[in-house]
Amino acid sequence: MDIKLIALDMDGTTLQKDYMSISDRTRNVLAKAIAKGIHVVPSTGRILGQLPESVVSIPGINYAVTSNGAAVTNLKTKEVISSNYLGSGSVKKIMKTLTRRNIFCEIYYQGQSYGERRYFEMISKRNELSKELIAFIRSNATAVDDVLDFTIAHASEIEKINIPLLSEKNHRVLWQKFSQIHGVTLTKAIANNIEVNHRLANKGAGLKQLCRILKLEAGNVMAIGDSDNDLRMLEFAGLSVAMGNASEEIKAIANHVTLPFYEDGVADAIEKFVLV
């Protein structure tokens, strides 16, 4: 296949266990792909401000699909070249439910993450969370005094609402409740979290918009991912690869399965299917 764009999920795919770094092998392989004229595009549920320096510092990475496709950004100019925000009505319904139930959430707005101050203090005391995860959440978000007021004030430009660290009961109840809201789609990247986007926002749609701008076809795209929020991206790509640590659903729809992220599955797949 004539691959001209490689779309990469971040967590559980390209990044290592610290949520921030990539291996030397992966970095070298990505640089080789870029040298061949291939676009390497981080395609993630993260907001722009959470893209790790280990990835965006690689020369030639010029575009990113973030917030599950709610925003596509030119990294050189910082211009959002495609967007699909949640919508004021949906945002207000979701936020009122979460604040009434006293549930922590992260608000993705203009490439940054926001959360209520008291919840960040609470997270630091949860012994079941790894130090790396706590550090990641705290270092990449801005604390506000009242997340409901903040969100309603910016309701027309919310990229995504991320609801992590849920109990099984709350996850089940909220998933059922929010599924009934017209105009939203729910997905998840890890267990016990819910990611809420506009119903037309997904990684596949974001990549489709970027390909239109770059004048590429789906057949020119290789996508690599591991989780539910990678499903549409893998379906869109002409060549889809699931990580060895991916869910069984993702493995079933992918063209190929590579090694797990902790064995450099991304590098292995690119070497096998592109750098030949």
Distance CA 163, CA 11 (A): 16
Q: What is the mean pLDDT of the segment spanning 48-74?
A: 96
Residue range 26-41, pLDDT digits in tens:
999 999 999 999 999 9
Nearest CA to 189 among 250, 107, 126? 250
Q: Which residue has the tokens 């007021």?
A: 149
Extract the tokens encoding 268: 């292995």
pLDDT confidence bin for 190, thresholds 50/70/90:
confident
pLDDT confidence bin for 184, thresholds 50/70/90:
very high
Give the torsion through C-alpha atoms of 109, 111, 117, 122, to 10 deg: 110
Say if residues 162 and 105 touch (Cβ distance below 8 Å).
yes
Q: What integer best gives the mean pLDDT of the chain?
A: 93
Residue range 127-168, pLDDT digits in tens:
666 777 777 777 678 889 999 999 999 999 999 999 988 999
The per-residue pLDDT for 178 is 96
Residue 132 DSSP SS3: helix
Beta-bridge mates of residue 114: 107, 142
The per-residue pLDDT for 127 is 65
Say if residues 185 and 197 touch (Cβ distance below 8 Å).
yes
Residue range 73-132, pLDDT digits in tens:
999 999 999 999 999 999 999 999 999 998 989 999 999 999 988 877 777 666 666 777
Q: pLDDT at residue 22 above 90?
A: yes
Burial 85-96, CB ≥16 within 10 A → b, else e: bbbeebbebbbe
Would strands 5-8 and 39-42 be described as parallel, antiparallel, or unpaired? Answer: parallel
Q: What is the mean pLDDT of the segment spanning 3-23?
A: 96
The per-residue pLDDT for 130 is 74
Extract the tokens encoding 163: 């609801």
One DSSP character per residue, 237-248 reads SSEEEE-TTS-H
Q: pLDDT at residue 182 above 80?
A: yes
Q: What is the mean pLDDT of the segment spanning 244-266?
A: 97
The per-residue pLDDT for 269 is 98
HSE-CB at 15 with a 13 A cutoff on CA atoms is 22
Question: Which ranges in 103-239 belong to alpha helices (H)?
Answer: 117-123, 131-139, 147-153, 168-178, 203-214, 231-236
Q: What is the mean pLDDT of the segment spanning 223-250?
A: 96
Distance CA 39, CA 179 (A): 35
37: alpha, beta or left? (left if phi > 0; alpha if psi -120 to 50): left
Nearest CA to 141 among 124, 166, 117? 117
Distance CA 219, CA 269 (A): 17
Q: What is the mean pLDDT of the segment spanning 233-238?
A: 98
